[in-house]
Amino acid sequence: SYEEVAVIEGDGIGREVVPAAVEVLDAVGDFEFRTARAGDAVRAETGEALPQETYDTVADADATLFGAAGETAADVILPLRTAVGSFVNVRPARAYPGVDAVQPETDVVFLRENTEGVYAGHEDRLSEDLSTLTRVVTTSASERLAAFACEFVADRGGDAFQVVHKSNVMRETDGRFRDAVVSVADDHGLDTEEVLMDAFATRICLDPTQFDVVVCPNLAGDVLSDLAAGLVGGLGLLPSANIGPDNALFEPVHGTAPDIAGEGVANPSAAILSAAMLLEHLGYDGEAAAVRGAVESVLESGPRTPDLGGDAGTDAVTGAVIDRLD
């Protein structure tokens, strides 16, 4: 039986880049696609940004490909991450030959904790003058992330990873995170380098080659991986994966790009590379490598979309990627 892949285009350029990624998946394998709706447009029609039907489709599928949602993004993506039980957000940031990058040697994977921190915290308005935020960190979630990191690093043939935190200030929460991650790495026989998150921001800008796999708490991972996106030439290139114990959701890092939506010029690379991560997750390693290779080839020699200095449309780039699959 075919693998079931839920497909949610969402809003804006999600409607352009997700169909492109689906075309590429169709070219390399046999999948049963289950389309579902989420985002601003479906909310305008039904009052709900994430209909129950969509949640169920995602929860029941083997994997999901998601585009982006507009102003309803938080109402869509946070519950969808829950629907797949995702505890880690995998965000590779690498530069490609042929693409202008601030730091052309960048090749870093962020493993971002995906359930806790300030995103799971509780904000309070206590008075006219005072608001507070509670931050959530558990040993169990930190250990689960670390165990994933150890496997991830071992799969890449590595023996160490970096762990980013700010436990000199947030002694209790980031201290707990740090202790859990370092101790799991020890148990797996892996080395860890601890990097304070502010120092990390400077170091990756100056020399990204110091970093390979970087394990982060939720907010730090969000911010620092976007910083890395800036080093490699923009949002149109960055895929991501939300991984759970037996389900996963794949999405480009970018949003709905309202400034170019509907023009047919969105860069489909991030969405297609997200589809490659989906393929790898489902065990289609050869197909994933072929898709990555084809995207790299097109990035190097064109055609390119306007964000990368070219004048080709989404369809032309997608067609070129499919032509270069081998």
Residue 236 interacts, among ligand NAI, Mg ion, none and using kind-specific CB cut-offs from 5 to 8 Å, with: ligand NAI
Judged by beta carbon, residue 137 or residue 257, the one nearer ligand NAI is 257
Is 81:105 a contact under the CB 8 Å cutoff? Answer: no
HSE-CB of 35 using CA atoms within 13 angstroms: 7
Q: How far apart are CA 23 and CA 272, in angstroms?
A: 9
**Shortest Å distance, C-beta 222 to Mg ion:** 5
Backbone angles phi, psi at 61, to 5 degrees: -75, 165
Number of Cβ atoms within 10 Å of the Cβ of 32: 12
Instruction: Considering the complex, state which of residue 28 and residue 77 has its C-beta at the smaller distance from Mg ion.
Output: 77
In whole angstroms, what is the distance from residue 75 CA to residue 19 CA?
A: 23
Closer residue to Mg ion (CB): 116 or 222: 222
Position 222 contacts Mg ion (CB under 5 A) = yes
Q: Phi first, then psi: what are they for 90, rounded to 5°?
A: -95, 120
With CB atoms as reference, the residue minimizing the distance to ligand NAI is 255
Q: How far is the CB of 253 from Mg ion (least distance, A)?
A: 7
Indicate which of Mg ion, ligand NAI, none lies near residue 13 (CB less than 5 to 8 Å, by partner kind): ligand NAI
Question: Which of Mg ion, ligand NAI, none has residue 222 at its interface (CB below 5 to 8 Å by kind)?
Answer: Mg ion
DSSP state letters, 169-200:
TSTTHHHHHHHHHHHHHHHTT-EEEEEEHHHH
Range in contact with Mg ion (rule: CB under 5 A) among 31-39, 55-63, 80-88, 214-222: 214-222
Q: How far apart are alpha carbons 196 and 170 in whole angstroms?
A: 11
Distance of CA 313 to CAs 4, 180, 259, Å? Answer: 29, 47, 15
262-301 binders of Mg ion (CB under 5 A): none
CB of 174 to ligand NAI, least distance (A): 25
Q: Which is nearer to ligand NAI, 185 or 265 (CB)?
A: 265
Residues near ligand NAI (CB under 6 A) = 13, 17, 68-71, 73, 77, 235-236, 251, 254-260, 266-267, 270, 305, 307
Q: Which residue has the tokens 């394990």?
A: 215
Q: In terms of CB distance, is 69 or 185 closer to ligand NAI?
A: 69
List residues near Mg ion by CB under 5 A.
222
